[in-house]
């Protein structure tokens, strides 16, 4: 993915119990700087920047039952219409559509397999200011209990293209891939629902995983080379507060 277009990932937002801890962890891991919006209507919303460009966001938990997690948003030109299309395809709308100040119009949904996601109609805030650069967003993985149903839903709701694969179909728009869909197997405890995970491009997956571990995170998977043609090296990490994300880098060797 090289640019944000309608239907593509446009933002990754972390919900956290401890904002100071999140700022320290991601600041050291990715070199992100944090700026909290002083306007009380945004409830302490914090933007992480990389080289002065928005790279991700973080918000305090709205209630104790809310999970600590990364939430992906997909761009739209009409939040209300996208919600109606998604509902017709089997999604559930949990919050919104609603105006977020003058920044844009937002809604929170879950797909028919239970994976939460958001849609964003940008106004003053476009979303990612940097993608596909080291320490910036570059890929999205959906882990789901029903891969075929998930693929069918996103094709219907967002007109995504699908690159078929029996194990890991990849998805995108305008001929560019930005994510993949994986069936959740026995390695996932039954209480873990379907979910999206953002992946951030890094210069060295092994070094990033080691740094994350030193900072109190848990490496859930990898570092490992993906066994497919031109597959990257990846690791999946759970941050010290429990939010899962991935890091990846193109393989340089044979």
Where along the chain do its domains lie?
9-122, 136-249
Q: Which residue has tokens 């320490």?
A: 135
Residue 212's Cβ-side half-sphere holds a number of Cα atoms within 13 Å equal to: 30
Q: Which of 10-14, 111-115, 250-254 shows the lowest mean pLDDT across its residues?
A: 250-254
Cα 182 to Cα 20: distance, rounded to the nearest angstrom: 33
Equal fold, 9-122 vs 136-249? yes
- Domain 9-122 sits in CATH at 3.10.180.10
Q: Percentage of residues in the chain with pLDDT exceeding 70?
A: 98
- Find the Cα–Cα–Cα–Cα dihedral 187, 220, 246, 239, rounded to 10°: 130
pLDDT tens for 135-173 read 999 999 999 999 999 999 999 999 999 999 888 999 999
Q: Which residue has tokens 């429990």?
A: 242
Q: 120, 199 in Cβ contact below 8 A?
A: no
pLDDT tens for 54-76 read 999 999 998 878 889 999 999 99
Cα 160 to Cα 8: distance, rounded to the nearest angstrom: 9
Residue 148 token pair? 């075929």
Q: Which residues of 163-186 are buried (b: 16+ CB within 10 A; e: fewer)?
A: eeeeeebbbbbeeeebbbbbebee
Residue 251 token pair? 């393989």
So what's the architecture of 136-249 in CATH? Roll (3.10)
**pLDDT category of residue 251 using cuts at 50, 70 and 90:** confident
Q: What is the largest CA-CA distance in the chain?
A: 52
């Amino acid at each position: 993915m090289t640019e944000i277009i309608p239907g593509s990932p446009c933002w990754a937002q972390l919900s956290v119990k401890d904002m100071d801890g999140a700022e320290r962890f991601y600041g050291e891991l990715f070199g992100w700087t944090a700026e909290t919006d002083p306007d009380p209507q945004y409830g302490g919303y914090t933007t992480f920047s990389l080289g002065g460009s928005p790279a991700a966001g973080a918000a305090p938990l709205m209630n104790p039952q809310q999970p600590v997690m990364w939430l992906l948003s997909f761009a739209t030109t009409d939040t209300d219409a996208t919600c109606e299309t998604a509902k017709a395809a089997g999604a559930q709308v949990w919050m919104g559509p609603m105006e977020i100040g003058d920044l844009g119009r937002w809604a929170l949904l879950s797909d028919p397999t239970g994976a939460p996601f958001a849609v964003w109609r940008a106004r003053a805030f476009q979303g990612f200011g940097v993608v596909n650069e080291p320490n910036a967003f570059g890929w999205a993985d959906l882990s789901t209990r029903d891969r075929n149903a998930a693929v069918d839903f996103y094709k219907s709701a967002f007109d995504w293209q699908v690159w078929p694969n029996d194990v890991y179909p990849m998805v995108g728009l305008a001929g560019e891939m930005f994510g993949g869909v994986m069936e959740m197997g026995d390695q996932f405890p039954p209480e873990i629902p379907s979910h999206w995970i953002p992946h951030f491009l890094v210069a060295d997956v092994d070094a990033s995983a080691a740094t994350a571990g030193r900072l109190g995170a848990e490496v859930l998977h990898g570092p490992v080379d993906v066994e497919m043609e031109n597959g990257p090296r990846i690791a999946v990490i759970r941050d010290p507060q429990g939010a899962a994300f991935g890091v990846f880098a193109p393989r340089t060797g044979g």
